[in-house]
């Protein structure tokens, strides 16, 4: 059974996937997991593999959604992405990291797609 926070997160990921499809992305995987963690969405956009982090906020009390993808999160996503590319034998493929930030408020959800939000992060 999912709690309210998890349900809101799923809602945000579904909303993000619909938004990405409308932008022309082809969804390859959702909630992809490997030993390093999870990536919300893996998609393809014009021949580029895109690793998408979805961040949803019900309020801006703790800051905007896009600000929550800090360097620690970027490093984790990078590790997962590299492992995915190795496992799928696509290490020569063009790839990038996008963020879909969803900020909810009294006037509905505001969706922001940030293409190439950050580069590959190493430790």
- Total number of domains in the chain: 1
The answer as to whether 109 is a domain residue is yes
Mind listing the pLDDT tens digit for each residue in 35-82? 999 999 999 999 999 999 998 765 555 555 555 678 999 999 999 999
Nearest to 51 by CA among 123, 119, 122: 119
Domain that holds residue 27: 4-118
In a domain, residue 98? The reply is yes
Q: 121 phi and psi, to 5 degrees?
A: -110, 130
Residue 28 belongs to some domain of the structure: yes
Task: Specify if 123 maps to a domain.
Answer: no
Instruction: Give the rounded percent of residues in the chain with a pLDDT score beyond 70.
Output: 78
Tell me the H-state helices in the chain.
Answer: 4-22, 71-87
Residue at 84 is within a domain: yes
Statement: the pTM of the whole predicted model exceeds 0.85: yes
- Phi, then psi, of 19 in degrees rounded to 5: -65, -45
Q: What is the CATH number of the domain that holds 36?
A: 3.40.1350.10
pLDDT tens by residue, 1-12: 666 665 556 777
């Amino acid at each position: 059974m999912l709690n309210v926070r998890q349900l809101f997160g799923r809602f945000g990921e579904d909303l993000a996937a619909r938004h990405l499809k409308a932008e022309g992305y082809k969804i390859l995987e959702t909630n992809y997991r490997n030993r390093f963690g999870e990536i919300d969405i893996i998609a393809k956009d014009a021949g580029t593999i895109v690793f998408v982090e979805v961040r949803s906020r019900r309020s801006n009390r703790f800051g905007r959604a896009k600000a929550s993808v800090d360097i620690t999160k970027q490093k984790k996503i990078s590790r997962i992405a590299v492992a995915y590319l190795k496992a799928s034998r696509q290490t020569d493929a063009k790839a990038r990291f996008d963020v879909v930030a969803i900020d909810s408020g009294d006037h509905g959800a505001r969706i922001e797609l940030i293409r190439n939000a950050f580069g590959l992060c190493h430790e």
